[in-house]
Amino acid sequence: MKILVVNCGSSSLKCQLIEIEQEVCLAKASIEEIGNNAKYSFEKKDSNKVKKELKIINHEIALNKIIDDLIQNNVINSINDVDAIGHRIVHGGEFFKNSVIINDTVILGIQNCCDLAPLHNPAHLIGINACKKIFDKKMVAVFDTAFHQTMPKKAFIYPVPYEYYEKYHLRKYGFHGTSHEYVSKKAAELIGKDITKLKMITCHLGNGASLSAIQNGKCVNTTMGFTPLAGIMMGTRSGDIDPSIIPFLMKKENLTISEIENILNTKSGLLGLSKVSSDCREIKREAWENNNKQALFALEKFSYRIKEYLGAFISIMNGIDVLVFTAGLGENFSEIREMICENTSFFGIEIDKEKNVLHGKERIISTDSSKVKIVVIPTNEELMIARETKKTIQKTND
C-alpha cells in the first residue's frame, strides 16, 4: 500500500511517498516559495537529491509536478499506484480527537479551526482541495493536536474566566503530537518495555520545541498551549512569559499588538537572547569557539527552561521511567542533552557522557546504573501520518 503524505503550507508543499507495509520512503519532494521562482527538490530512495528553481504558481501545479517526477523516475507507473493520501493538519481544536477520513464535514471542521491556526489550517485546506482535483482516493486528516486530547481538564483549562473556554474554546491544545506519539512508541520498543506501563517525557527540540508528559501511552500534559508560542523558549519564540510584559512594552516602545506578536514569535527565544542566530549550530560556534558569553547564556537558558518543565512533569506523573530526545537539537546536539540532564540525579536521571557524544539512530545514552532510561529517537512524523492513514482507512473498511 503506497501512501502519499502531504504537508501543505501557505507557499510550500512537502510530500513523501511511503510503502507502508515495509515502512519505506520511496521518494520525497518539497517545493518552497510557490508563486515566485519556487525552490524544488526531489529525492528518490537510494538516489541523489535533485534541486532546481521552477516557475510554479499554485499548489495544484506543484502537486502535479511532484506526481510527474514520481512517474518519470519509475517510483510509480501511474497516479493509480497511489492508494491513499495522508494530510498533516496542525489544528483540530476540540472537534478531532483522532485521525479521520476527509469528507465535507471534516473540511468544515478544519475550516472552523482556522481562527486557532490562521497560518496553517487555511494552507492545509489548499492542499486538500488540490489533491481532490487530482486524486480519486481516500484522504485522511492527521492532526498535530489529536495526541494531546487525552490531557485531563485540569491540565488544559486556563485560569481565566471560564466563559472564554465556553465561548471560544480557549484552552491548551499542544502541538508536535505526531512526533511525540511516534518517538514515545519507538522508545518503548527500544528498551523492550510495554508503553502502557511507562512514565515518559518526550523532548521535541527543534526550531519549534515542546515537551510532553506521557503516562501509560497517553499524553497527560504538554508545554505548548493555545498556540505554539507557549511553553519552553525556542529558536525564535519566547515561550512562557509574564503576560504583563505585553502592555508594558506596548507603552514603552509604542508598539501595536501585531508588532508585539511578531517580536514574541520571530525575534525572541535563542535568537533574541544570543544576539547571534536562531540556529544552534551558529550559537554553539560562537559560545565555545569564540567564547561568546551571550551565546553561551542563551543555551544555558534554553536548557534551564526545559529542566523546569522536567521537574513539573515528573511531579505530575509521580515519577519518570524514560526521557526521550528528538528533532534537530534533541537528536544532534549532545551538549544540550548534557546540560539538560546535569544535576538531575535526584530524579534518577544519569547521562553517560561517552555514549551521549556517539552518533547513530535509536540509542540509549544513560548510564547502566541510571534508574531512568535516556534515549535518542530520530522523529519521523511522515511515517506516523502514513501509519495513521492506513489504520484509519482499515477501521472504516471493517
The reply to whether 41 and 133 lie within a common domain is yes
- For residue 262, CA distances in Å to 170, 237, 257, 268 come to 21, 9, 9, 9
Q: Is 242 a catalytic residue?
A: no
Classified as helix, coil or strand, 342 is: coil
The reply to whether 114 and 259 lie within a common domain is no
Domain annotation covers residue 393: no
Domain annotation covers residue 169: no
Number of domains in the chain: 2
Catalytic one among 81, 144, 368, 398? 144
- For residue 281, CA distances in Å to 7, 159, 184, 236, 347 come to 26, 38, 26, 14, 30
The reply to whether 221 and 342 lie within a common domain is yes
The reply to whether 209 and 350 lie within a common domain is yes
The reply to whether 251 and 330 lie within a common domain is yes
The reply to whether 225 and 365 lie within a common domain is yes
Rounded to the nearest 10 degrees, the angle between the axes of helix 104-112 and helix 121-134 is 160
- Predicted confidence at residue 47, as pLDDT, reads 83
Buried b (16+ CB within 10 A) or exposed e, 138-160: bbbbbbbbbbbbebeeebbeeee
- Predicted confidence at residue 117, as pLDDT, reads 81
Amino acid at 166: E
Domain annotation covers residue 264: yes
- Predicted confidence at residue 120, as pLDDT, reads 83
Q: What is the CATH number of the domain that holds 246?
A: 3.30.420.40
Name residues whose C-beta falls within 8 Å of residue 104's C-beta, 6 or more positions apart in sequence: none
The reply to whether 205 and 123 lie within a common domain is no
Domain annotation covers residue 311: yes
Per-residue pLDDT of the chain (398 residues), as tens digits, is: 999 999 988 788 899 999 999 999 999 999 988 887 889 999 998 888 899 888 888 888 888 899 999 999 999 998 899 999 999 999 999 989 999 999 999 999 999 988 888 878 888 998 999 899 888 899 999 999 999 999 999 999 999 999 999 999 999 999 999 999 999 999 999 999 999 999 999 999 999 999 999 999 999 999 999 988 999 999 999 999 999 999 999 999 999 999 999 999 999 999 999 999 998 889 989 988 889 999 999 999 999 999 999 999 999 999 999 999 999 899 999 999 999 999 999 999 999 999 999 887 899 999 999 999 999 999 999 999 999 999 999 988 76
- Predicted confidence at residue 169, as pLDDT, reads 92
Q: Which three cell numbers stand for residue 8?
A: 501543505
The reply to whether 333 and 248 lie within a common domain is yes
The reply to whether 138 and 251 lie within a common domain is no
Domain, as residue range, for 81: 2-143
- 183 vs 379: CA distance, rounded Å: 6
The reply to whether 80 and 206 lie within a common domain is no
Domain annotation covers residue 127: yes
The reply to whether 228 and 338 lie within a common domain is yes
Domain annotation covers residue 174: no
Rg (the chain; Cα; Å): 21
- 120 vs 339: CA distance, rounded Å: 33
Contacts for 92-98: CB closer than 8 Å, 24+ residues apart? 92/141, 92/143, 92/144, 92/145, 92/146, 93/145, 93/169, 93/173, 94/149, 94/169, 94/171, 96/141, 96/143, 96/145, 96/146, 97/146, 97/149, 98/146, 98/392
The reply to whether 201 and 295 lie within a common domain is yes
DSSP 8-state secondary structure symbol assigned to residue 16: E
Domain annotation covers residue 389: no
Domain annotation covers residue 329: yes
